[in-house]
Every structure is written in C-alpha cells, then in structure tokens.
C-alpha cells in the first residue's frame, strides 16, 4: 500500500545504504528495498552518497529509479571531481529516460563525510 505524506511544502528525504563495505552482488537488493520503503513512507527523495569509497552515485541512482515509481534521487556531487557539463548531462539523461526529477546536493569540502 502506497502512503503519501500530506503536502505542507516540506519535502522529506532519506538516505540510501552505504556501499562502503558491500560485496559484489550484495548491495543491489538492499538499495532497492530501502528505496521502496522510503517511497512507501512518503519520502520525496533519497540521498545517494558520493566519495571515492562508494559506488558511483549516478549508477546507484539508476537502480533506485528502476526499483520505484516516483521517488527522486538526491545525488551528492563534488564539483571539484565532476565537471558541471557532465553533471547536467547525467541529470537530463536520467530525467528524460525515466520522466523523473533528480535533486542535487552540492558538496563543498571533504566528501568523505557525505
């Protein structure tokens, strides 16, 4: 049963599981489950972490989009590590292919804490 939070102008976001210690093949199921549970709880989006120890946030966002009907990835990006054109191209490509909104979390500083 899908639950929709009342619209008071406040958007609730959750975070996806870390992939820091994930083993190959063991992280896709938990990512999909968390995304579905967040959507059922009425969340607007789900934060996808970025740092050099995590999986690529754009690929993780693709998994989240494919596993859900409406939740939007909130992709943490570090402008020092990814050119703005590349970010814009990823956003427009995912939005066009899936008809889904994406949010950005612009990380300034050390991305190991995000």
Expressed in angstroms, the distance from the first to the final Cα of the chain is: 32
Task: Kindly report, residue by residue over 6-15, the tens digit of the pLDDT.
Answer: 667 899 999 9
15 forms beta bridges with: 47
pTM for the model: 0.83
Q: Pairing state of beta strands 45-48 and 103-106?
A: unpaired
Task: Kindly report, residue by residue over 68-108, the tens digit of the pLDDT.
Answer: 999 999 998 888 888 999 999 999 999 999 999 999 998 87
């Amino acid at each position: 049963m899908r639950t929709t939070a009342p619209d008071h102008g406040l958007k609730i976001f959750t975070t996806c599981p870390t992939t820091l210690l994930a083993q190959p093949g063991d992280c896709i199921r938990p990512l999909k489950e968390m995304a579905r549970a967040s959507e059922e709880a009425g969340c607007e989006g789900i934060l996808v972490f970025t740092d050099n120890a995590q999986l690529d946030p754009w690929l993780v966002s693709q998994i989240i989009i494919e596993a859900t009907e409406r939740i939007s990835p909130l992709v943490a990006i570090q402008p020092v590590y990814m050119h703005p054109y590349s970010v814009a191209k990823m956003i427009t490509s995912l939005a066009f292919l899936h008809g889904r909104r994406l949010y950005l979390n612009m990380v300034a500083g050390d991305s190991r804490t995000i």
